Amino acid sequence: MKLNQPNSEIFIPDGTPLETALRRTTHLAVGAHQDDIEIMAYHGILTCFQNPELWFSAVTVTNGSGSPRTDLYAKYTDEQMMAVRRKEQKKSAIIGEYSVQFLLDYPSSAIKDKNNRSPIEDLKLILTATRPQIIYTHNLADKHDTHVGVAIRLIQALREINEQYRPEKLYGCEVWRDLDWLIDEDKVPFDVSAHENLQASLLGVFDSQIAGGKRYDLATMGRRKAHATYFASHGVDTATSLIFGMDLTHLIEDTSLNPFAYIQQHIQRFASEVEQRINKFL
C-alpha cells in the first residue's frame, strides 16, 4: 500500500500481516488529529473491543504540528511535537486493540487546499482495501476548519470509489461542536456506557494535549455523561454515557446532494422546532 506522504505510516498493533489486518476491518474512523478518533468514535472502538468478529481501524489524517503546547512540551519544536503525537496515537491503538492505525502525516494546509487531491487518493486506497461496514468521521457542523475539511475529503473519496466499497453507514460525530442541538429525530445516540476504564485510558494517553493545557479527557467524558442525562426530559436515564452522531450516509447515496444543503436541512428543522415551541405560548 503506497500512501502519498513520505513519512506516512501504517501501524498494526498486534503484528498481523497487513492484508489480513485490512481485510478484517469492519469499523473505520477517519479523524483530523491525534485523539480526535478517541473522542468522536469511541462507539466503534467499544463495539469491536475483544470481539474476534469485529475490528476497528483508524485513520489520522494530519501530523499534529500545530498543536498548542505548555508545561513539559512548552519548548518542543513542531518536529518534536509531531513525533510525540504520533507515539501517543500508536499507544492508543494498542490500548484500543485497533486492527490498523493509519498515520497519513498531512499538514492541515493540505486538507484545506481544494486542489490537493493526495488526501482523497489516500482515503480511496484505504477505503477499497478495508471495505468497512461503518465509518465515523467529523460532523459537518463542527467549528474546526480542519475537521470539516477531513469530513469533506472523506465524502469526496467515498463518492469516487465503486459503490461496492461504500459503507452501510457514515456517521459524523462530535469533537469541536457537540450535536445536542439536533432535534431528537435527527440524533444518532451511541450508548458508550461500558468500560469507562477503557475510554479513560484512550483519552488519557494523549499527555501532550492534557498536560499541554487542554483537559480533553475530563471534558469528553463529562459531555458523554451530560448527554445521557439530558437526552430525554420525561424519562429515567437508560445509559450513563452517550455520544451523538449525525447520519451522513445520504451524502454518499446521493452524490448530487450538496453537503451544506444537507446540514442546512438539519438546522432548519432545529429552528422550526424552537419556533413551534415558543409560538405555543404566544
% of the chain at pLDDT higher than 70:
98
Query: Tens digits of per-residue pLDDT, 193-230?
Result: 999 999 999 999 999 888 867 899 999 999 999 999 99
Q: Is 4 part of any domain? A: no
Tell me what pLDDT residue 15 has.
Answer: 97
Give the chain's mean pLDDT.
95
What is the average pLDDT across 161-176? 97
Q: Is 147 part of any domain? A: yes
CATH value at residue 32: 3.40.50.10320
pLDDT at 136 over 80: yes
Q: Is 195 part of any domain? A: yes
Q: What pTM did the predictor assign?
A: 0.96
Tell the residue number behind the cell numbers 494517553, with chain if given.
205
Q: Is 264 part of any domain? A: no
Q: Is 41 part of any domain? A: yes
Contact 54, 96 (CB under 8 A): no
Q: Which residue has the higher pLDDT, 51 or 75?
A: 51
3-state secondary structure of 189: strand
Tell me what pLDDT residue 233 has.
Answer: 66
Lowest pLDDT segment from 23-37, 168-182, 219-233, 266-280: 219-233
Count of domains forming the chain: 1
Q: Is 28 part of any domain? A: yes
pLDDT at 72 over 90: no
pLDDT at 232 over 90: no
Tell me what pLDDT residue 236 has.
Answer: 66
Nearest to 167 by CA among 131, 138, 137: 131
Sequence-distant (6+) residues with CB within 8 A of 183 are 266, 269, 270, 273
Q: Is 278 part of any domain? A: no
Q: Which helix (H) or strand (E) holds 58?
A: strand 56-62
Domain that holds residue 120: 9-256
Q: Is 191 part of any domain? A: yes
